[in-house]
Structure formats: structure tokens, C-alpha cells
Amino acid sequence: MSWTTFLQAIGEHHDHALTPHELDVILCLRQAPGQTKQDLLETYQNLHGPIEEEALTQRLRTIYRKFRITGRGHKLPQLHRCLHQRFLQSEQRFVALGLREIHPAFPDDRFTSALEELIATDDDGDKNVSILQTFAPNLERYKSQLIRCLQRGARIRILLAWPYSQAAGLREAVLKRYASEHMADDFGIQGSVIANLETLEATIRGHQHAANLQIRLYDTLPSLALYQAGHTLLAAPFLHGALAIHTFQLELDLQASNALVAGTLLQDFELMWTVARPFVPDPEANWRNNLRILFTD
């Protein structure tokens, strides 16, 4: 969690009952110590426009009272120490849960780096790649890394929606209904899943370790998109009107001491894996016909 995000969250907490003007003051506090009231005044004026020093002082007095900053001496340093201590405590809790960062959208560079780290490692216990999506719009970008992962003996598991399922049709209908008009054409799930399978067909073609890439298709409704490479996990919810790669992403460290969040997400992947059906886009077979009848028995 960034300092600004922390200040926003603590300033909006109902226990403090800050007014919008008081929250504006809180958001002007720097993370580094040593900020004077004059520094704070200048920061406020740069961000929000002119304000009399006495008006800022009055808002600070109210903030001190609401945060129970009492006693003698300069109170601004006391307020900063109070907030910084809470920030460090929140950071420790997030670190324990393995939360490294919250990205506004899917971080292609971070997942690429995680794949490269996996390719470079000699630890066989780290060599796992997992992807759960209805379809993965970004799969083609990682084809070369996936091939190299196979060459390095990695286990790759990919879960996609069966493109002829009612669930896939429902997801597509929801996306198109709630998406902005210029985005609606991007949500053809049937064609997009087949495009993913074509990418995977090219990935395994002629590869001696092709059996290490396992593909399953599901006929149910997933709750999240998930990308794992080694100890890095990226997860995002399925929202109405937005592809999962276009919404916020939780980046988690699978080596964290508290596995509550990451473990729960991986359990969901394993559950989906058990109810899904294996499928191989065999370059030597007419797999498109096999795809159509996968769940018809």
C-alpha cells in the first residue's frame, strides 16, 4: 500500500470523522519526517489553491483532536509519528499476507519478469505456471516464454472456458451489455478461446516436453482470473463490462508466511481444475471438432 493510499483510507475511516477539507490536509502530509507547518501550507496551496495560514491552523487543531494528539510541544511531528507508525503496521500485515502490490491493470512486465525468473531458476519446486481465464487476451505475448518454460522442464497448467458453454455465453452477454460501445467488439469469447488454443497448438508443436503443458476447459462460472509463475501470483475479479486484465490486480508472494489470501485463491484454481476436462489442441488432429463435443456426453 502506498503512503497516499494509506492516508486516503485512514482519513476516510469513520472513527476519525474528518471533513473533506480536513482530509485534504491529511493528504498533504509527506511520508518522510521533518515536514513543518510552513511546508504543509505550501504543499496544500500547490495542490488545492490559496488558503490563509490561520485557516490551515484551525483545521490542524481539529485533526489533532480527532487523532487524540495531546500534550505539550509541536503537534505536527506527533501526528506524523502516529500516522507513520500505523502505516508501518499496515505494511507488515500486508507483507505477512504476501501482498506485494495492487496494480490498476494487468502488469505485463511483471508477469514477464516472473516467467523469466522461473526460466532462470534451478529449483524444480518453483517451476509452475498456472493461468485461469475465460480466455486470455494476452496469451500470445507469452508464447516464447512458455516455450522456454517447457524447455526448462516447467509444469504449465492452463484453464479456459469451454467456448460453447452456457457460462461462456452468459459472460459474453454480460460483458457486451455493460461495456462501453467502443469496447464491445472485444468480447467474442468463442473466437477468443479458439485463438488461445491455436496459440497453445503452436506452443506444443514438435516440442519434446509438450506433455508438461496441460490444458483443461471448464463448463462453469469462475470467480476470478489468475496468473501464476513461480512464487508470483496475479489475481483479479471478473467485473461487469470489463475484461479481467483491465481491472485491478493483486500481486501476491506465494512464499508469504500467511497463506490466507494466496492459498484461498489457489484452492479455487485447484477446484476448477478438478471439474474441468482435459483438452489437447493436437497439431496432427482436427481438434476443433473435438472441442465442440467436449461436454456433450
Q: What is the DSSP string of 60-112?
A: HHHHHHHTT--SSS-HHHHHHHHHHHHHHHHHHHHHHHTEEEEESS--HHHHH
DSSP state of 155: E
pLDDT at 297: 74
pLDDT at 254: 81
From the number of C-beta atoms within 10 Å of its C-beta (0-12, 13-18, 19+), residue 167 rates as middle
Tens digit of each residue's pLDDT, the chain (297 residues)? 677 877 888 878 777 888 999 999 999 998 888 899 999 999 999 999 999 999 999 999 999 999 988 877 789 998 988 888 787 666 666 555 577 788 889 999 999 999 999 999 887 777 899 999 999 999 999 999 999 999 999 999 999 999 999 988 888 888 888 876 555 556 689 999 999 999 999 988 877 778 899 999 999 888 899 999 999 999 999 888 788 998 989 888 887 666 677 888 899 999 999 999 999 998 888 899 999 999 987
Residue identified by cell 485491478 is 248
C-alpha cell at position 113 = 519478469
pTM across the whole model: 0.69
pLDDT at 15: 78
pLDDT at 180: 66
